[in-house]
Amino acid sequence: MLPLVALVGRPNVGKSTLFNALTRSRDALVHDEPGVTRDRHYGVCRLNEARPFVVVDTGGIAGQEEGLAGATARQSRAAAGEADLVLFVVDGREGASSLDDDILQWLRKTARPVFLVVNKTDGLDSRTALAEFSRYGFADVFAVSSAHRQGLDELLAKVLAKLPADGDATILDDDPERVRIAFVGRPNVGKSTLVNRILGEERMIASEVAGTTRDSIATDLERDGRKYRLIDTAGIRRKSKVEQAVETFSIIKTLQSIEHAQVVVIMLDAAEGVTEQDASVLGAVLDAGRALVVAVNKWDGLSTYQREQVEALLSRKLAFVTWAEAVRISAKHGSGLRELFRAIHRAHASATRQFGTSEITKALEIAYEANPPPVVRGHIAKLRFAHPGGENPPTFVVHGSRLRTLSDTYKRYLENFFRKRFKLVGTPVRFVFKEGE
């Protein structure tokens, strides 16, 4: 599936700064909203749109953390051992330390391909900075400054050249009418109950999609005359006894499923509301720009009073994705599934709707006239025209002048205006602002 790059290094060398530089979302606006948890350890690098890859910040590899933090740290270290490429990050200002030597020894044992990344070389002579580490004997060395985004393009180019192709990309090549869905969520929310129920329904035409690896990677099915592809069904359906016992939550698998889907259905357990892990998965869906449906499962087990409580809690916790539809379901009893598929269909239709330049320029004009942006230092931003910039998510490229003065509030106004006018539900919407013309 998506290739995996692990950042390894002692504390304070700049791993998390590099992590942020690589995984920084294009959609900063979204992430300013309260409620979105940005997972600090895992992200997807999309600096090259065509070849995204998962980045894991392994933190310190000593790691004495307990509880959930400990589990994440252990997963991160395990990830480094399985990574397609490790970036061994060192500090160009402090030079090599004995801790670096220890980490290097450990890395050699994992036998993964490693690039040496000498960070914090801003203001330093990069040749001198690299020379300090020459005794490590790396063929691939890079002098970068993560904080100032220097040297990252060259690093990225070499990383991409080193990574294997997405082996299961066949999952994406198919009938454009087939909707690709991923069911994601924490262990025990009911994913496998739901998927098995959907696939087990009568008159279901389902077929497994073979991957390059041993297992089927997806299942195609038809339902009410519409075609769907369920992503990563093997992992969901055939849980091993061990997996069931330890309740593993594979963040990497989740990120990969999101990447390959058009519509992500995040399943919540009604009795547990929106946990931090749920919020972090939601953040990943927004990063990826995917259409989203929230399935609130185990609705059957609740009293009327509990249902009211859950409704109130959800509307508060999901305030940052008001555009997503929430459907109450019971995977166990099969109720709410028709509504769920209707919501999936609406989200997909919105996410892939085709726009013409004239209709969106018209919308822009009306929005602008009804509510022009405020005057900033004697000037007012002009919005001249817009053209479509892509689907899933719908992207609108707006041309004008003094666009830098547009506030987040005004951008949100435009977004809401477009959402209403074009009846867009269940999908993020993006605006790209271009100065000039």
* 14 labeled binding residue: yes
Residues 231 and 425: their CA atoms lie apart, in Å, by 22
- Residues 383-408: b if buried by 16+ CB within 10 A, e if exposed: bebbbbbebbbbbbbbbbeebeebee
Among 25, 72, 126, 193, binds ligand GDP (CB under 6 A): 193
Residue whose CB is less far from ligand GDP, 194 or 321: 194
**Roughly how many angstroms between the first and final C-alpha of the chain, as a whole number?**
41
Tell me: does residue 23 bind ligand GDP (CB under 6 A): no
Tell me: does residue 200 bind ligand GDP (CB under 6 A): no
Binding mask 99-138 for ligand GDP (x = CB under 6 A): --------------------xx-x----------------
Tell me: does residue 427 bind ligand GDP (CB under 6 A): no
Tell me: does residue 3 bind ligand GDP (CB under 6 A): no
Handedness of CA 89, 46, 29, 369 (dihedral sign): positive
* 362 labeled binding residue: no
Strands 205-210 and 291-297: unpaired
* 392 labeled binding residue: no
- Listed ranges 13-21, 101-109, 256-264, 311-319: which one lies at the site for ligand GDP (CB under 6 A): 13-21
* 342 labeled binding residue: no
Residue whose CB is less far from ligand GDP, 17 or 361: 17
Amino acid at site 374: P
Structure-block tokens of residue 181: 């869905």
Amino acid at site 420: K
Q: How many CA atoms lie within 13 A of 393 on its CB side?
A: 26
* Backbone conformation region of residue 227, classed left if phi is above 0, alpha if psi is from -120 to 50, else beta: beta
Tell me: does residue 219 bind ligand GDP (CB under 6 A): no
Residues 406 and 372: their CA atoms lie apart, in Å, by 10
Do 23 and 45 contact (CB within 8 A), yes or no? Answer: yes
Residue whose CB is less far from ligand GDP, 117 or 383: 117
What letter would DSSP give residue 372? P
Do 434 and 398 contact (CB within 8 A), yes or no? Answer: yes
Tell me: does residue 145 bind ligand GDP (CB under 6 A): yes
Residue whose CB is less far from ligand GDP, 150 or 405: 150
Tell me: does residue 12 bind ligand GDP (CB under 6 A): yes
* 121 labeled binding residue: yes
Least distance CB 278 / ligand GDP (angstroms): 12
Among 15, 260, 290, 345, binds ligand GDP (CB under 6 A): 15
Structure-block tokens of residue 214: 């041993």
Tell me: does residue 160 bind ligand GDP (CB under 6 A): no
* 9 labeled binding residue: yes
- Listed ranges 6-14, 209-217, 219-227, 347-355: which one lies at the site for ligand GDP (CB under 6 A): 6-14
Tell me: does residue 235 bind ligand GDP (CB under 6 A): no
* 203 labeled binding residue: no
Asked if the peptide bond before residue 393 counts as cis, ω within 30 degrees of 0, the response is yes
Considering only residues 397 through 416, tell me which ones interact with ligand GDP, judged by CB under 6 A.
none
Residues 389 and 360: their CA atoms lie apart, in Å, by 11
DSSP codes, 305-345: HHHHHHHHHHHHHTGGGTTSEEEE-BTTTTBTHHHHHHHHH
Do 101 and 74 contact (CB within 8 A), yes or no? Answer: no
Return the SS3 of 12.
coil
Count of residues binding ligand GDP (CB under 6 A)? 30
Tell me: does residue 361 bind ligand GDP (CB under 6 A): no
**Which residues lie below 8 Å from residue 87, measured CB to CB, with a gap of 6+?**
5, 6, 7, 8, 18, 114, 115, 117, 155, 159
Structure-block tokens of residue 345: 């269909």
Residues 36 and 20: their CA atoms lie apart, in Å, by 16
Among 23, 192, 277, 427, binds ligand GDP (CB under 6 A): 192
Considering only residues 33 through 72, tell me which ones interact with ligand GDP, judged by CB under 6 A.
none
Considering only residues 293 through 352, tell me which ones interact with ligand GDP, judged by CB under 6 A.
297-298, 300-301, 330-332
Residue whose CB is less far from ligand GDP, 209 or 331: 331
- Listed ranges 33-41, 78-86, 189-197, 417-425: which one lies at the site for ligand GDP (CB under 6 A): 189-197
Residue whose CB is less far from ligand GDP, 21 or 347: 21
Binding region for GTP: 9-16, 57-61, 119-122, 185-192, 232-236, 297-300
Q: Which residues bind ligand GDP (CB under 6 A)?
A: 9, 11-17, 119-120, 122, 145-148, 185, 187-193, 297-298, 300-301, 330-332
Binding region: 9-16, 57-61, 119-122, 185-192, 232-236, 297-300
